[in-house]
Structure 1
Amino acid sequence: MKGKLVSGLAMLTALSVVGAMIKIPAIVGSVALDVFPALLASVLFGAGAGALVGVFGHLLSALIGGFPLGPLHFLIAGEMAVLVWVFGRLYKKNKILASTVFIIGNSFVAPLPFIYLMNIGFYLGIVPSLLIGSIINTVIAIVAIPRLSSLVAQGLSNRNVKQ
């Protein structure tokens, strides 16, 4: 069973790399479709697993974009882990609340430290791109989760499969 979990997380991390190559125009070139696999993982495999995929997905997206913010991407990866974890915990109770908290958190709250690290202009410039990216990533995840949940549940609980 752990092998199937690791394989699933590896596939979702690889999907993050593919999503990282699909950029959303922004002042900084690291807004991409790299987070929806983490949102999928947080619901399908657990909030902690989703947080790991979120960290690796963001760091790989930043690497593909040339690390435009340098080591600050590690701060962003930590924020992504928290947001994806919260999404995974809230999704089972209320999908709309989970989506709203993720979109607001990723678009408006997560970039707040950059007001102090960079300036207010950077914050105001990045928020519209983050908002669009967050909405697109969340919609993709919300559409895909119900379609994938039965497959994942069946695959993880099926003990009759020859290995």
Structure 2
Amino acid sequence: MQLKRMTLTALFVAMCAVGGLIKIPSAVGSLALDTVPALVSAAFLPPVFSGIASMLGHLASAMYGGFPMGPFHIIIALEMLVIVVIFARMHRAGYKRMKWVFFVIANGLLAPLPFYFLVSPAFFLGALQGIFVATVLNAIVAAVVLPALQQVVTGRMGALR
């Protein structure tokens, strides 16, 4: 069971890395669809493993972009870990709409907030719009894919029994 979980986690990390290649233009330069697979993984992995997939997916995406924010990407990756763990727990608890509201607010508005103080208010305000748009796009794509994929997988599992 542990090997299966690790393999599935590695698969979602790889999909996050591929999503990181789909860039969304912004002033920050490293926004991508790297979070979609991590959000979808909430249906198939324990929350911590979904968070790990998101964290590693962000780091892969930042690497493709040349780490434009340097070591600050570690902060962002840790924020992604926490946000996706909470999202996955909400998914498991049955919060159908609230998990998406949480994700958009946490990732699109709250996660950039430390950079108001760490970099500058101007940077924060300049980056906020792009980050928010990328967050909403990640949420929309995941909201479409998640229930469809979950239905296909559970339907197939039922057919195999």
TM, length-normalised to structure 2: 0.90
The residue type paired with residue 56 of structure 2 is F
What's 1:38 paired with? 38
Question: Relative to 1, partners in 2 of residues 1:73 and 1:157: Cα closer, same or farther, differing over 3 Å?
Answer: farther
For residue 149 of structure 1, report the CA deviation from its aligned partner: 1.9
The residue type paired with residue 17 of structure 2 is V
Gap runs ≥5 in structure 1 = none
What's 1:17 paired with? 17
For residue 36 of structure 1, report the CA deviation from its aligned partner: 0.8
For residue 51 of structure 1, report the CA deviation from its aligned partner: 0.4
Aligned residue pair count = 160
- Can you list the C-alpha shifts for 1:8-67, whole angstroms capped at 9, x where unaligned? 222211111111111111111111000011111123212111100011000001111000
1:70 matched to 2:52: no
Work out the CA distance in 1 between the residues paired with 2:118 and 2:98: 30
Question: Relative to 1, partners in 2 of residues 1:10 and 1:153: Cα closer, same or farther, differing over 3 Å?
Answer: farther
Work out the CA distance in 2 between the residues paired with 1:60 and 1:69: 13
- Displaced runs of 4+ in structure 1, greater than 3 A? 150-160
Check conservation: 1:23, 1:33, Cα contact below 8 A. yes
Alignment of 1:113-128 (within 5 A): 113-128=114-129
Work out the CA distance in 2 between the residues paired with 1:47 and 1:141: 16
Question: Relative to 1, partners in 2 of residues 1:156 and 1:49: Cα closer, same or farther, differing over 3 Å?
Answer: farther
Question: Relative to 1, partners in 2 of residues 1:48 and 1:58: Cα closer, same or farther, differing over 3 Å?
Answer: same
What's 1:135 paired with? 136
1:86 matched to 2:91: no
Check conservation: 1:44, 1:145, Cα contact below 8 A. no
Q: Secondary structure at the match of 1:103?
A: helix
- Superposition RMSD in Å: 2.1
Work out the CA distance in 2 between the residues paired with 1:70 and 1:134: 21
Gap runs ≥5 in structure 2 = none
The residue type paired with residue 77 of structure 2 is A
TM, length-normalised to structure 1: 0.89
Check conservation: 1:19, 1:33, Cα contact below 8 A. yes
